[in-house]
Copies of this chain bind each other. A is one copy, B any other.
C-alpha cells in the first residue's frame, strides 16, 4: 500500500480486483427485488408474417432451428424472455427436417398451429397437435420432422438463461442429421397418460417427466370434467399443473408448466411472488395488469410477468372462457428456498 489517501487506496484495490462493499451496499442488497426484466407482450398477429417470411427465405439446413426469440428489453445481453426463462416461436414447413442435437438446457414445445409434424426424442417419435405439450428434458437427442401440410408453429420454452448463468451449458450435434426411431411412436405418453397408472417395470424415477407428450385432448377432458365444480385459485382461476408421474412434481427440474382457465368475467386477485412467469394465450382475450401496466392479450399472444411484479388477470369476455398456458421457474426458486409470495 503506497499511500493513506482513500482514492489511491481504491485505485490500488481496483487493480487487485478488490472492491469496497460500503460503496455498493444499496445496489447489491436492494430493499426488494428490482428485476431488469420489464413487463412485455408479443402479438402473435404481428409475429406471424415474420415467421412465414423466414420460412420462405431461410432453409432449415441453414437455420438448424428456425425460431424467433422473444427477448425482454431488459435482458438482451442474455437473450432471456424473463428472469431465467426463454420463449421462442418455431416454424417448420412440410417436408423439412431439423437436425438432431442435444443440450443440457431443458426444453419443451407447446403447439400453436399446424399438424402432421413430430419430434423424435431419444428414439421415440412424438406427434404434435395444437395444444399439446411436448418435453425434451436436458441432454436428450431431439430432431423435428414435418410430414403434414402448411406451416407448423409452436412455442419453444427453455431454461438456457438459467443454465448459462450457472455455466452449465453443454451442446452436441448428432452424428447423423436424424435419429433412428427405435421406440414405438408416442410410447412414453401412451403408457403414462391414462388413469394415473405407472408402468411398474420402469424402476428408475427420473427428475424429469418421462412423458414425451401431454395431449391437449386430455387437458380439455380435465377442464370439462370439473367445469362447474372446481374451486380454483382466486388468483389464477382453474389452474392445473402438468406433473412428473414419478414424483407428482413439476415436469422439469427447472420449469413448471400449467394451464389455467379463466371463466367468463373472471377477475383474479392481485398477487406477487419471486418466480418468473411466461404466459401464452391458448384462446380468448383479456387484460392482465402487471404493476401499473395493462397488457391486453389475444389468442396465441405471449407475455411475461417479472419476479415480484404484482399481476392480476381479467377475462375480457363475459360469455367465453379464456385459457392460458404458463410456465415458471418456481421449481428453481423453491428448491433454493427463495420463494416468497403476497396476495394483495
A residues apposed to B, CB below 8 Å: 1, 4, 6, 9, 12-13, 16-22, 24-25, 28-35, 37, 40, 42, 46-47, 49-50, 53-54, 57-58, 62-73, 76, 79, 83-84, 88, 103-105, 138, 160, 162-172, 184, 187, 190-201, 205, 207-208, 211, 214-215, 218-219, 221-222, 225-226, 228-233, 236, 238-248, 253-254, 258-259, 274, 276, 306-308, 329, 332-333, 335-338, 340
**Chain B hits for A226, CB < 8 A:** 187, 190-191, 199
Contacts A22-B63, A191-B225 aside, 13 further interface pairs with beta carbons under 8 A come to A17-B72, A18-B42, A18-B47, A18-B71, A32-B169, A32-B170, A166-B329, A166-B333, A167-B306, A191-B226, A196-B218, A197-B241, A197-B242
**Chain B hits for A19, CB < 8 A:** 68-69, 71, 79
**Chain B hits for A219, CB < 8 A:** 194-195, 197
**Chain B hits for A340, CB < 8 A:** 104, 168, 170
**Chain B hits for A233, CB < 8 A:** 200-201
* Contact indicator B68/A35 (Cβ below 8 Å): no
* Contact indicator A166/B307 (Cβ below 8 Å): yes
- Interchain CA distance A21-B184 in the complex, whole Å: 31
- Interchain CA distance A276-B165 in the complex, whole Å: 12
**Chain B hits for A71, CB < 8 A:** 17-19
* Closest-CB distance, A306 to chain B (whole angstroms): 7
* Contact indicator B49/A1 (Cβ below 8 Å): yes
* Closest-CB distance, A327 to chain B (whole angstroms): 13
**Chain B hits for A306, CB < 8 A:** 167
* Contact indicator B66/A22 (Cβ below 8 Å): yes
* Closest-CB distance, A156 to chain B (whole angstroms): 9
* Contact indicator B20/A69 (Cβ below 8 Å): yes
Residue of B nearest to A260 (CB): B200
- Interchain CA distance A26-B180 in the complex, whole Å: 25
* Closest-CB distance, A82 to chain B (whole angstroms): 9
- Interchain CA distance A146-B332 in the complex, whole Å: 38
* Contact indicator A222/B200 (Cβ below 8 Å): no
- A28: which of B4, B164, B187, B193 is its contact (CB, 8 Å)? B164
- A30: which of B37, B171, B193, B241 is its contact (CB, 8 Å)? B171
**Chain B hits for A76, CB < 8 A:** 17
- Interchain CA distance A71-B17 in the complex, whole Å: 5
**Chain B hits for A187, CB < 8 A:** 226, 229
* Closest-CB distance, A50 to chain B (whole angstroms): 6
